[in-house]
Structure 1
């Protein structure tokens, strides 16, 4: 087993809480990258590009060392349109109105970057969320309670947002929160990090 130090390339409290579940010591470093979509960039490609860019940005400070950088990015798509973080009540309300009765696809990328070898592993997870038909009253009440203005898709599935769904399809329930832990454990073990 190689003695790596783990660094989460994120300032997200949600990803930090998820990584804490693995009970491994880690540091957090915020990647400084431009997250704007490229023209006509498919959501899967955008997810991959941003996930790897986040790891590479943080890895620059740790070149040649025994650090593993863990990065993740998530893109939500409704009928081919990207759903970003709403930022405020009005934008969140518009997103949830559009999502009502529809299926939103979340693409969550995951990268583990070895700073010593500069090699990296990348995997992606896809989650499909089908929303109930939502009334304006339900949407407003939910937004006032959960205030998911920093979440792609305008909900927190780890909280009351789950009440908005009629169906959830995923290979890892943590993916929707922002860090696919099942895949991460596998990737860390391939990098010779023992989780158990």
Structure 2
């Protein structure tokens, strides 16, 4: 008899992160963390992303003792200034106007909280994956048309690279192609392996669904 898989929880309300995690064919649950995502005064973008990823994972872990909890957060930056989710068309257009022809850094922070650990200081694995995105220098009419078609108002930087947003991008540079979408799966699978979560053989032998 093989031990059961640990309970795995995605601490996020993001449909994009849920879709990405489902690619691993591992059973998981979704719980939205209740935290304040406001950046601290003077906090660097990387520090904001890392702190929020940790806080999301820890908040859900408190509600689910013994579980593995995934927390993630993304902050886009241009010239050191944080670029958040636009929320509406006007803000999104202003973001794209500012970023066109420019190179933007996306910080995608990831935390895996292992609730099986007895000590909180050893429970968290955490990492920041940077993605460098160069936007095309497009006229206002094209940017406006793109936004009306895709409406990426819940995405930092107003562009969904997994959709039509790829047409307004010139270059993407990253060690993890899924980081820009919101959940760096290469980093996550490394963390899950370190947490002794099996991916292939054990699940097949145990008859669990891939």
Structure 2 unmatched ranges of 5 or more = 201-210
Structure 1 unmatched ranges of 5 or more = none
Provide the residue aligned with 2:159 in structure 1: 155
Choose which of 7, 24, 35 in structure 1 pairs with 2:37. 35
Measured against aligned partners, the alpha-carbon deviations of 1:23-73 in whole angstroms (never above 9, x if no partner) come to 00000000000000111110010011000000010011123x2x1001110
- Within the alignment, does 1:195 sit opposite 2:199 as a pair? yes
Q: Contact 1:129–1:167 (CA<8 Å) still a contact in 2?
A: yes
Instruction: Give the Cα separation in 1 of the matches to 2:82 and 2:100.
Output: 16
Q: In terms of Rg, which structure is larger?
A: 2
Deviation at 1:14, TM superposition (A): 0.1
Instruction: Give the Cα separation in 2 of the matches to 1:87 and 1:95.
Output: 11
Instruction: Give the Cα separation in 1 of the matches to 2:4 and 2:192.
Output: 11
Choose which of 130, 133, 136 in structure 1 pairs with 2:134. 130
TM-score (norm 1): 0.97
Instruction: Give the Cα separation in 1 of the matches to 2:48 and 2:151.
Output: 26
Deviation at 1:2, TM superposition (A): 6.9
TM-score (norm 2): 0.90
Local SS of the residue matching 1:69: strand
Instruction: Give the Cα separation in 1 of the matches to 2:116 and 2:195.
Output: 12
C-alpha RMSD of the superposition = 1.0
Instruction: Give the Cα separation in 1 of the matches to 2:183 and 2:15.
Output: 11
Local SS of the residue matching 2:60: helix
Instruction: Give the Cα separation in 2 of the matches to 1:153 and 1:22.
Output: 26
Deviation at 1:134, TM superposition (A): 1.4
- Within the alignment, does 1:81 sit opposite 2:81 as a pair? yes
Q: Contact 1:110–1:184 (CA<8 Å) still a contact in 2?
A: yes
5 Å-filtered alignment, 1:51-130, equals: 51-63=53-65, 65=66, 67-117=67-117, 118=120, 119-130=123-134
Instruction: Give the Cα separation in 1 of the matches to 2:147 and 2:5.
Output: 44
Instruction: Give the Cα separation in 2 of the matches to 1:3 and 1:129.
Output: 37
